[in-house]
A and B are shown apart, each in its own frame.
Chain A
Amino acid sequence: AQSVSQHNHHVILSEAASLELGCNYSYGGTVNLFWYVQYPGQHLQLLLKYFSGDPLVKGIKGFEAEFIKSKFSFNLRKPSVQWSDTAEYFCAVTFNYQLIWGAGTKLIIKP
């Protein structure tokens, strides 16, 4: 079965720190990859996506992610986090039109 792993369930950082959240998937074929974010009290929102082309993709609010096919990874990065980035972050992979999701990473930014 296809699966997505997110390595850290909870991350606590101070403002201005750099962020990297890990995501690995198990499917060996062509993949479409997504990061979604859920701010407190809000619904899931698309942060960025990768379908093909440049493996470094940029999303909203200064986030970027790098697709490394040989490592089956799609890690999310941000050079300098802000308090407003406190949220839960989900990595997901398309498989047969459904999204397969990681368990999520809760990110807390200390002001």
Chain B
Amino acid sequence: DTGVSQNPRHKITKRGQNVTFRCDPISEHNRLYWYRQTLGQGPEFLTYFQNEAQLEKSRLLSDRFSAERPKGSFSTLEIQRTEQGDSAMYLCASSVPGLRGTDTQYFGPGTRLTVL
């Protein structure tokens, strides 16, 4: 299967700990997106990359959050000093650029974070 993969699928951590998630996009997809989804809500945009460049960040992404895509392939999302409010599903998507925003984003299975 050459879809978007995310690791780990589940992460339980204690408040104050740092966590890192990984996303491997579909090969040759040079756009990569991170979203967060809480129960009963649709996903919320966090950030996106075109190749290795981080082009947009949501105001939801506090200074405790950082995302990287160092070689333009896989990406990592790190949360420092986790808080209980960070508990959510973290989704990664990838796409090939289209004209006027006509990208179709393909999603991975997500990483479910629980902060105790």
Residues in chain A within 8 A of chain B (CB atoms): 4, 9, 30, 32, 34, 36, 42-46, 49, 51, 90, 92, 94-104
Contacts and interface: CB of A to CB of B under 8 A. Distances in A.
B40 interface: yes
B33 interface: yes
Contact of A49 (B33, B40, B104, B109): B104
A51 to B, nearest CB: 5
B28 interface: no
B106 interface: yes
28 contacts: A30-B100, A32-B102, A34-B104, A36-B107, A43-B91, A43-B108, A44-B43, A44-B91, A46-B104, A49-B104, A90-B43, A92-B42, A94-B101, A95-B101, A96-B101, A97-B103, A98-B33, A98-B48, A98-B56, A99-B33, A99-B35, A99-B45, A99-B105, A100-B45, A101-B42, A101-B43, A104-B40, A104-B41
Given A43-B109, A98-B48, A90 B42 contact: yes
B110 interface: yes
B38 to A, nearest CB: 10
Contacts, number: 58
Given A30-B100, A99-B43, 4 more contacts: A90-B43, A94-B102, A98-B33, A103-B40
Interface string B39-64: 01111110010000001101000000
A90 B40 CA distance: 11
Contacts of A44: 43, 91, 107
Nearest to B31: A97
Contact of B42 (A4, A45, A94, A98): A4
A99 B106 CA distance: 12
Nearest to B100: A30
**8 tightest A-B contacts by CB?**
A101-B42, A98-B45, A44-B107, A43-B109, A94-B101, A51-B102, A101-B43, A43-B107
Contacts of B108: 43
Given A97-B56, A100-B45, A46 B106 contact: yes
A61 B42 CA distance: 22
